[in-house]
Amino acid sequence: MFIQPISISPTRVASGNILMSTPFEALGLAAPLLRAVADLGYTHATPVQAQAIPAAMQGADWLVGSQTGSGKTAAFLLPALHRIIEQGPTAIHRVATPRVLVLCPTRELTQQVAAEAIRLVRHVKKLRIGQIVGGVAFGQQIAALKGADLVVATPGRLLDLAQRRQIRLDMVQCLVVDEADRMLDLGFQEDLTAIHEACADRDQTLMFSATFAPRIVQLASRVMRDPQRIELANAQDRHADIEQRLHWTDDANHKKRLLAHYLSASTLEQAVIFASTQIETEALARELANEGHQVA
C-alpha cells in the first residue's frame, strides 16, 4: 500500500496543458477512433501518445518507456486498432485468430486494457475485443473469443488455450507487451519466448516498460527486430515536486493505523492510495468509507 497526497496547484495544471500539445486529429487515426477518443473527453494526446502513436503507425518495432498513468494504454491500442480498421473485417474462423495480441502481466491490467479497447471501438462495426485471464471457466472464455480481432491476455492462460487449440496465434500481425518489467518480475520470461515463437510471422512488436533496465533491453533484443526507443526526456524529473517516504510496518494493523494517521492530517484535502490488487482496493475503500471518508 502506498499513499500519495495530491495538491492540485494552478502551476501543475498549466504545465500539464503545455505538455499535452498535440491534438488527436493531427495523428492520422481512423475517424471512428477519433470519435471514441472525443467521447472519452481526451482532446490532446499525452506525451507518450504523441510520440508512440505516429511511430507505431509507421510500422517497425518500438520499445517505449512509460509509467502507469501516462496514457500508455491508448498509446498502443489506438495504432493497433487503426491497423485493424484500415484492413477491414476478415473471415471468422472456428477458433479465434487475432490480428493484434496484447500481453499484460496481471488479470487486473488485462481487464483494464480490454475495457479501454472496448471503449475505443464503440463506433467501429464488426471489430471484436477478446480477453483471456486465468480463473474464468474455459468454455465461457472460448465462446467469448470467437471472431476477436484484438485479444488482451495474460501469458499463462493464453498458452494454455493455444495448446488446447482454442486460439491460433499464427495470424497475429502486431504483438504488444505491456509492463514488460513486471512481466519479468512475475517470471513470464519463458512464456514470452513461447508466445514470440508462436506468432513469428508478425510484422510489428511494441514493448512498453517503466524502465530500460538491461534485462528489458535484452528481452527486447530477443523478441524484437532492431527495436527503436521512445524515451520521454522528462520522464524522470516530472515528479520532482513529490516527496517520497518509506515506512516499514510490523503487520497489517500497524499499516492501517499509519494510514489513518496520515489521512487525519488537517492539511490533507485529497489523497490517492494504491493497493496491489482489486480485492484489496475494494476492501480498503469500504473500510475507509465506514470510517467516514468520502471514497471512490
Give residues with Cβ within 8 angstroms of 64, minimum separation 6: 48, 51, 52, 72, 75, 76, 206, 207, 208, 209, 229, 230
Nearer to ligand AMP, 49 or 209 (CB): 49
C-alpha cell at 75: 498509446
Nearer to ligand AMP, 152 or 159 (CB): 152
Taking the complex as a whole, the smallest distance from the CB of residue 12 to ligand AMP amounts, in Å, to 15
Beta bridge partners of 177: 103, 207
Write out the H or E segment, with its range, that includes residue 230.
strand 228-230
Say whether 177 sits in a helix, a strand or coil. Answer: strand
What does the binding site for ligand AMP look like in residue numbers (CB under 6 A)? 42, 45-46, 49, 68-74
Taking the complex as a whole, the smallest distance from the CB of residue 27 to ligand AMP amounts, in Å, to 11
Write out the H or E segment, with its range, that includes residue 35.
helix 31-39
Taking the complex as a whole, the smallest distance from the CB of residue 37 to ligand AMP amounts, in Å, to 7
Pairwise CA distance, residues 286 & 293, whole Å? 10
Nearer to ligand AMP, 49 or 205 (CB): 49
Phi and psi angles of residue 62, each rounded to the nearest 5 degrees, phi first: -130, 135
Taking the complex as a whole, the smallest distance from the CB of residue 51 to ligand AMP amounts, in Å, to 13
Terminal Cα distance for the chain, rounded: 16
User: Could you tell me how many residues make up the chain?
Assistant: 296
Nearer to ligand AMP, 121 or 199 (CB): 121
Taking the complex as a whole, the smallest distance from the CB of residue 203 to ligand AMP amounts, in Å, to 24
Nearer to ligand AMP, 33 or 45 (CB): 45
